[in-house]
Structures are given as C-alpha cells and as structure tokens.
Homo-oligomer: A and B are copies of this chain.
Amino acid sequence: MSKKENISLSVIRRLPRYYRFLGELKKSNILRISSAELSRIMGLTASQIRQDLNCFGGFGQQGYGYNVADLYEEIGKILGIKENIKTILIGAGNLGKTLSTQMDFHSFGFDLIGIFDIDSNLIGTTLNSIVVKDVSLLEEFCKKESPKVACLCIPKEAAEEIAERLVKLGIRGFWNFSHYDMSLEYKGIAVENVHLGDSLMTLSYRVHDNL
C-alpha cells in the first residue's frame, strides 16, 4: 500500500538479487515463501526483506507469506525488465565484443541497436548481427533512433569526450566500463560504473586481510 517517493540506492541494488533468487525458487516450482525462509536462503534478515519490499507495495499476505511467481513478476516490473530501452555500445574492442555478443541485454530490459568504434579494422564487422559503425555517425544515428542508454567500453579519455556528446544527444543512462568516474559530472543521468580494476584492488586488500 505504501509507496515511498525516494527509495535509497541500497534498496534498489538489492532488488536484482531478490529477482535472481525468486527466479530460482520459481524454477524449482516453489509456490510460496515467507520472509523468514527467504532471509535464510539469501543471508539477510527477514526484517530487511519486508522493509525493502514494502517500499514498493504490500506484496505479501499475512499468515501466508509471498507468492513466488507474483513477487518475481512484481520485482521484474519495478526493475523494468520487460522494457526495451534502446541502447548503444561504444567501443567494439575485446570487452565491447564480449558484452555485445554474450550479454543478454534483452532479459534485463535493454535493446542493443547500435555499436560504434573509431578503428577502421572494426567498422563494418558484425557483432550480434549488428554492423559496427564509425563513431562519427553517432549524431546522425542518435537523431534518427533516439537511444536512451549507452554502454562505454572505451578508454578514459575517449569516454570523457564521448559522454558529453552522448548526453547532448539525449542519452539518459550509462553503463560505464571505462576508468572515468562518470557519476561526478552528470547529475540527473543514471550511471552504473563497472570498475573492474577497483573490484580487483578490493579483492587484493581482502585476500591479504584474510591470510
């Protein structure tokens, strides 16, 4: 019944995890689950689960718990997994190639419609049945197709420059794999930084801490 206005990022970041676990439960033909049971499986407290879910609505039923399939569906809706946000990818090098061919953008709410690079050796090649275009065609393409999200698989310097162009062209969200810390410059635009180096350094610290 409740519907909070501003939901904290901590809550939002837990949603995909709920979604994954509920997907598994659904696959195992489990029909209902209580917050207590789910908390055991996921390593959280039952309180937290109920608090989190109640940010978006009362999905449970007293005395019964939550219907797995329904809750799965609801969280999917909240996350917008059924949408098809038009998405482009910049940088068809190793990482870009892997992401564009391996990542199932569709099942997460995205529709990859364009891939761009500056390297003439890559332009014209096909990835995931999309022909890699010259990055100079970006303006033209965006005006015609109006993509809303861009995945950046390019070096820091290139990312800084291209981000600005893309924001002007109407991009509203970035999936950023460059070392450039996007979140700082563009308030009001959603940025998910995937800093693999930071992740490795954190692991380094923690492994040494544990030895």
Chain A residues proximal to chain B, CB less than 8 Å:
12-13, 15-17, 19-20, 42-43, 78-81, 83, 85, 93-95, 97-99, 101-105, 107-110, 148-149, 172-173, 175, 179, 181, 183-184, 188-190, 192, 194-211
Contact = CB atoms under 8 A, between A and B. Distances in A.
Contacts of A99: 196
Given A94-B101, A183-B43, A109 B201 contact: yes
Contact of A207 (B15, B172, B204): B172
Each complex incorporates copies of this chain amounting to 2
Contacts of A206: 12, 173, 190, 192
A198 B16 contact: yes
A206 to B, nearest CB: 4
Contacts of A85: 204, 207-208
